[in-house]
Amino acid sequence: MTDASKSPETAPARAQRPELDDAPPLLGSWRNIYLVVLGTLAFFIALFWALTRAYS
């Protein structure tokens, strides 16, 4: 079977949507976005832990 005989439904998603390979518009890479999200989570956990210790 050749590539020309494949139907569009069986073609890989990347061939149909090349924009999926683009970098995100913010921070340059998905890794950086994930690091910011995890850093924010760690910050809020530490903040709420500190508030709990201070006011309990």
Residue with tokens 């079977």: 1
User: How many degrees, rounded to 5, is the angle at CA 41 between CA 37 and CA 46?
Assistant: 150
In this prediction, residue 23 has a pLDDT band, given cuts at 50, 70 and 90, of: confident
Cα-based distances in Å from 12 to 5, 8, 32: 14, 8, 27
pLDDT at 3: 56
Beta-carbon contacts of 14 under 8 Å, excluding residues fewer than 6 positions away, are: 20, 21
User: pTM for the complete prediction?
Assistant: 0.62
Q: Could you give phi then psi for residue 9, rounded to 5 degrees?
A: -70, -25
**Between residues 44 and 9, the one the model is more confident about:** 44
pLDDT at 19 over 60: yes
pLDDT at 6: 57
